[in-house]
Structure 1
Amino acid sequence: MESVDLGQPTLVELFTAVVARFSDRVAVTADDQELTYRELDRQAAAVARRLRDSGAGTGSLVGLMVPSTSRLVVGLLGILKSGAAYVPVDPGYPEERVAWTFKDSNVTHLVTTPELAERSADLGVDVVVLDGSEAASEPAGTGAGDLAYVIYTSGSTGRPKGVQVEHRNVVRLFDVTRDRFGFDENDVWTLFHSVAFDFSVWEFWGALLFGGRLVVVPQETARSPRAFHELLRDQRVTVLSQTPSAFAGLAAADAQAEQPLTGLRVVVFGGERLEPAGLRGWFARHGDEHPRLVNMYGLTEATVHASYRPVTAADIAVSGTSPIGVPLPDLAFHVLDETGRAAADGAPGELYLSGAGLARGYLGRPELDRERFLELPGPDGTVRRCYRTGDRVVALPDGGYGYLGRTDDQMKIRGYRVEPGEIEAVLLAEAGVSAAVATAHGYGEGDVRVVAYVASDIPADVLAPRLGERATASLPPHMRPSAYVVLPELPLNLNGKVDKTRLPEPTAEAAFAPVAVGTDEAAELTGTERRIVQIWQSVLDLPEVGRDTDFFDLGGTSLSLLRMFARTNEEFGTDLDITVLIDGATVATLARHVDSALPAAAPRP
């Protein structure tokens, strides 16, 4: 598609203006280095030069696979400066997923690091390695209607789908939110989320379009609420973006912290349903003004955020609906009933979105565009382009909206939209599996995991590890089932569809881990290891746990890891931080750290 709206600024043009104003201010803080705006601009321009010299440019799609360091910021900016759009993949994704994404998007080049370049050898793309080259050049000519990025989300047909977002979509997001938040050059933001998750777009440009500072959060720090709390305090972060489930862990760390987060002025929630009652402890310590808490409903197809709702202490009493507020000024909400007519006042319906934030559409999926991006008649007879969200909402008496849930089976797992059909397609590829259903199951304290139910005659202890291996090879971590329940057949309703209400609970007796767990280790366990095994069995709801099996391989999630660690510290009277497991989360490793800490602690008898 040709560039349009050339009179509007692009992200690169706005960034160039920021560099001119704040050239000597620090733009990026990361573990590997700090970069001023001038240094960041020069290094990104060097990447752009190398991309253009190798044939990439305006209209190209370039893969981006870089860990959470300053090089991630350089690489992303370099791609945009070349005129191309970036297609991000998380380095933690399996090889099969990375290769599929690049093939589907037809990327021609990949920007990556020397450490990951060898992994990219068989992807069939030209690799540009981030090596600190200084051969800079001027930005390529792009327009506001050119693509900025293509981010892949889960697909209901078993295929992920790439959402095409243009420069103007992102630029207008900050045009309409700047005054509400007061963003400026004094703000410090964190890049907490994976660049393959669109929440990162908000974090990245929220800092760099206003002359602020972007703090890149290392993965190991992101996994530890205590370490992350310390980073927020030490870096005096002012703007924090979090999914509600991630914030729950941070709030728990904050409750135990000796020093408060005095620099924080606003927390933005997004990615998943917010339950205000879960903020009771936070409001008791901080009130609801310093920092302000804001809930922003959104989705990738509408460029990250679509609504705005300050959350106050009074909202603790709200139940049944999650308040998402009012649409951003250049968007409109349309709540339609099952007949496609406007829902009556106070009646729930499906949300359709229209306005300047809507993405160009899905990459190479015209049939899906026709299904989700619709032309609907307005009350004045005009036709408006809308996105059918699949979310159920209701207009509230205060003038805002409340989120009720989904109209389909789509799940939200740690902020990611997950289509169960994509998981089920992977499981059905295993010989001996005649039917499969993936569901979201809550294990308490906001810990939601994927559970797979499969129909097969193969013994569960044999089949579950096979399916776990297949899922690990094909699916990103947030989509992999944490447990497998194997049944002779899945219960059906009168329409011949799986009756999810009749599926058994994934208890320890019914569910199996996605890896094989040996039973011959029990006699070798130390006393500390036995107590830790019992904790793991309780948190993971599994009958068996091996001393040398990784917690995540057993189906654990980041939230269940936090729960397990809190219980371990409580059980042994220790004060260990979760970062002790950075090199491996096994019973044996954790037991060694517990034993080392016990002389200085007050162990239970």
Structure 2
Amino acid sequence: MPVAIPKNNESSSSNNRLVPSSWNLTDKDYFLNITLSELFEKQASKTPDTIALKFAADTLTYDQVNRYANQLAYKLRACGVTKESVVGVCFDRSFEMVISLMAILKAGGAYLPIDPDFPDERKQFIVSDAQLENIITQPSYKDTFSNVKNAISFTLYDDWLKAYSGDNLAPVASCENAAYVIYTSGSTGTPKGAVNTHAGIVNRLLWMQDCFSLTETDVIIQKTPYSFDVSVWEFFWPLITGARLVIAQPDGHRDPQYIYNIILTEKITTIHFVPSMLQIFLETEHLSRLQSLRRVICSGEALPYVLQEQFFSKCTCDLFNLYGPTEAAVDVTWWKCLRNDSRKIVPIGKPIANIRIYILDEKMNQVPVGEPGELHIGGVGVARGYLNRPELTTSNFIRDCFSNKPHAQLYKTGDICRYLDDGAIEYLGRGDDQVKIRGFRIEPGEIEKTICSFDGVKAAVVVAKETSGKSEKILVGYLLADFEAIPVSALRKHMAKHLPEYMVPSKFVKLDSFPLNANGKVSKKALPEPKTDRPLLQRSYKSPDSELEQKIASIWESHLNLEPVGIEDNFFELGGTSLIAGMIINTIQNTISKQVSIVSLFQNPTVRTLSLAIKNSTTTESNNRPEHSDRIQMQKKMTNQMKWLKRKV
């Protein structure tokens, strides 16, 4: 629920201690007059024969990555790409995905990631809203973008690459030009693309290197979906420092056992988790074996103190909590987590280099230490604004009244925070209805608009609620409708046509009317808890037969917080998500002492089919991970599998 901030600088603090100006003395003399691709080229010239990328059993050196990216960049230049050109990218995780991002930067453009998992309607909205004329994609997705002027199908084995030079291009972009555009949920019901510059992301990466000092011995895993801005540092930090980037298999980020295996086998030293996924990962057995791991970085949603303590009880490496919106270059504050911190909270920390943080009241005055206010971001990391949305940019990016620079901006985050006595910042919540689910920023209005477009629905309200006895949040859709019972199967099918999976509510509740507060607005606090009854599905209920089916059904009931679960009920129609799937897989493995992959659950989304798959499986060693010598065959197999799974879901 929204957190209130003081009006007229009112304060309950007895001392009204002012914020020291020294807390924003973050100046660092980094060389920022350089682009991200130029930083990579400098590294490639230093360590040309060092392995830069690894995917499955195959590797590419820094020189190979540089030459492939140059060839593709020349192709983009031939298509008219230059500075400020926004170029779409749509790939499953692969060498080609990373090389495409680098090629766009080399050509002078800004990359715009389009998640292959997005519904076609959302993909087409982004193409139209960004006015894309160029997109790079893998062959299996090219038909989706037939309306784009230049839709380039790209693999490393394409003959047309030979027509282009592998030498570095003459740069056309500068540090002030756009580097990437990432779309995020919009409060008005439509997504919006935040434009970040080279100077902003270069500053962010140089700060990170300043703090953590990656070397050629470090190995980073790239597992964050590239439509989420954490992926930016996963991609580029290792590649500008000579470290190795290991690319996780498509959908590998959802599977805690796969993540464990790849950390162990590839000797990963640095990894990122959103806290909700870290919670599941910590349930994996034998974490003490992960001796290569030096640091775990959390961001994307609030890191609970209890989860921090659970981490320290099972892991010996460092834990860091970072914070930043999409409207800034990834992260703007950081905190090294402390064991046995007496404050019983996990701050979001202090500003990184060349970033300034202001916590302000409604009149733009700084609130005293300890008092809540809206967090505003200033400095080089602030995004330029929203792509092709001048009015929205003007309302959220305001003049920096604390800076002498004529064009300096502050970004109004909407996050309510307060300063602690030592200058660290505590995150308290939102000043509006925006929520975070599994690290994804979600505006409920966009979901409500989609629910209301379903036949028979008159009004809808969407909130995030904690599930009974669990810390993770789920989306719940409340609706007023003409029908007696919610046709959940049909409604989910409708939602899936318009929204990404993480924006589809796990539960729906039909009400006769919404509870109202004294101002006549919907009282979200008064909305009832969703019932735990089995929803109305297309298939009738069938009870478990075998002992294994009974165990699996019971596990589903516990994690989905509903009962009874029939053996032919579809996991996703019951409100299952990828996060819940990870929890279920962990519980099943611990219960029956047999390895089960998250892909197996996606392929077999009923208790009956999953039971049969487990029964017919002979794999019992949890540390087995298949290696494929033929990378392109592996990628084709994964792509076909993902396309099949999306049709099933």
Alignment TM-score, normalising by the size of structure 1:
0.91
SS in 1 for 2:486: helix
Residue pair 1:59, 1:146 contacting (<8 A) in 2 also = yes
In structure 1, the residue matched to 2:422 is 398
Measure, in 2, the Cα distance between the counterparts of 1:570 and 1:230: 16
Provide, for residues 365-388 of structure 1, a one-character-per-residue CA deviation record: whole Å limited to 9, x for no partner: 111112111114339899952111
Measure, in 1, the Cα distance between the counterparts of 2:405 and 2:241: 40
SS in 2 for 1:528: helix
- Is 1:224 the counterpart of 2:224 in the alignment? no
In structure 2, the residue matched to 1:410 is 434
- Is 1:357 the counterpart of 2:381 in the alignment? yes
In structure 1, the residue matched to 2:175 is 144
Measure, in 2, the Cα distance between the counterparts of 1:504 and 1:270: 31
Q: Residues 27 and 582 (structure 1 numbering): CA distance in 2 closer, same or farther, change over 3 Å?
A: farther
Measure, in 2, the Cα distance between the counterparts of 1:384 and 1:62: 27
In structure 1, the residue matched to 2:522 is 498
- Is 1:113 the counterpart of 2:142 in the alignment? no
Residue pair 2:287, 2:314 contacting (<8 A) in 1 also = no
Residue pair 2:581, 2:601 contacting (<8 A) in 1 also = no
Measure, in 2, the Cα distance between the counterparts of 1:84 and 1:599: 47
- Is 1:293 the counterpart of 2:325 in the alignment? no
Q: How many residues align?
A: 584
- Is 1:280 the counterpart of 2:280 in the alignment? no
In structure 1, the residue matched to 2:272 is 241
CA-CA distance at 1:233 after TM superposition? 1.5
Q: 1:424 aligns with which of 448, 452, 469?
A: 448
Instruction: Give the counterpart letter for 1:270 in structure 2.
Output: S
- Is 1:433 the counterpart of 2:457 in the alignment? yes
SS in 1 for 2:555: helix
Alignment TM-score, normalising by the size of structure 2:
0.85
SS in 1 for 2:451: helix
Q: Residues 382 and 400 (structure 1 numbering): CA distance in 2 closer, same or farther, change over 3 Å?
A: farther
- Is 1:23 the counterpart of 2:54 in the alignment? no
Measure, in 2, the Cα distance between the counterparts of 1:146 and 1:270: 26
Aligned-residue sequence identity (percent) comes to 33
Measure, in 1, the Cα distance between the counterparts of 2:287 and 2:187: 46
Q: Residues 336 and 72 (structure 1 numbering): CA distance in 2 closer, same or farther, change over 3 Å?
A: same
Q: Residues 36 and 445 (structure 1 numbering): CA distance in 2 closer, same or farther, change over 3 Å?
A: farther
Q: Structure 1 residue runs of 4+, over 6 Å off?
A: 379-383, 597-601
Measure, in 2, the Cα distance between the counterparts of 1:452 and 1:167: 39
Residue pair 1:154, 1:160 contacting (<8 A) in 2 also = yes
SS in 2 for 1:302: coil
SS in 2 for 1:64: strand
Q: Residues 225 and 421 (structure 1 numbering): CA distance in 2 closer, same or farther, change over 3 Å?
A: same
Residue pair 2:253, 2:259 contacting (<8 A) in 1 also = yes
Provide, for residues 182-202 of structure 1, a one-character-per-residue CA deviation record: whole Å limited to 9, x for no partner: 123322111110111000001
CA-CA distance at 1:445 after TM superposition? 3.8
Q: 2:104 aligns with which of 55, 61, 79?
A: 79
Q: 1:538 aligns with which of 547, 558, 568?
A: 558
Measure, in 2, the Cα distance between the counterparts of 1:586 and 1:517: 14
Residue pair 1:438, 1:453 contacting (<8 A) in 2 also = yes
Q: Residues 177 and 435 (structure 1 numbering): CA distance in 2 closer, same or farther, change over 3 Å?
A: same
CA-CA distance at 1:535 after TM superposition? 2.8
Residue pair 1:276, 1:318 contacting (<8 A) in 2 also = no
Provide, for residues 225-259 of structure 1, a one-character-per-residue CA deviation record: whole Å limited to 9, x for no partner: 12211101211111111111111222221xx2276
CA-CA distance at 1:336 after TM superposition? 1.1
In structure 2, the residue matched to 1:586 is 606
Measure, in 2, the Cα distance between the counterparts of 1:368 and 1:473: 26
Residue pair 2:193, 2:386 contacting (<8 A) in 1 also = yes
Higher mean C-alpha displacement, 540-549 vs 393-402: 540-549
In structure 2, the residue matched to 1:485 is 509
> What pairs with 1:187-336 in structure 2 (closer than 5 Å)?
187-253=218-284, 256-257=285-286, 260-287=289-316, 291-315=317-341, 317-319=342-344, 321-336=345-360
Q: Residues 7 and 452 (structure 1 numbering): CA distance in 2 closer, same or farther, change over 3 Å?
A: closer
Residue pair 2:308, 2:337 contacting (<8 A) in 1 also = no
Provide, for residues 512-547 of structure 1, a one-character-per-residue CA deviation record: whole Å limited to 9, x for no partner: 47xx3411544x854432442233233213345453
Residue pair 2:458, 2:482 contacting (<8 A) in 1 also = no
Residue pair 1:517, 1:544 contacting (<8 A) in 2 also = no
Instruction: Give the counterpart letter for 1:339 in structure 2.
Output: K
Q: Residues 90 and 165 (structure 1 numbering): CA distance in 2 closer, same or farther, change over 3 Å?
A: same
Measure, in 1, the Cα distance between the counterparts of 2:122 and 2:113: 12
Provide, for residues 69-104 of structure 1, a one-character-per-residue CA deviation record: whole Å limited to 9, x for no partner: 111111111111221111111111110000001100
Q: What are structure 1's unaligned runs of at least 5 residues?
A: none
In structure 2, the residue matched to 1:59 is 84
Higher mean C-alpha displacement, 556-565 vs 499-508: 556-565
Higher mean C-alpha displacement, 16-25 vs 168-177: 168-177
Measure, in 2, the Cα distance between the counterparts of 1:179 and 1:376: 27
SS in 2 for 1:352: strand
Provide, for residues 242-285 of structure 1, a one-character-per-residue CA deviation record: whole Å limited to 9, x for no partner: 111111222221xx227611111111111110113213233234
Residue pair 1:163, 1:359 contacting (<8 A) in 2 also = yes
SS in 2 for 1:460: coil
Measure, in 2, the Cα distance between the counterparts of 1:36 and 1:549: 47
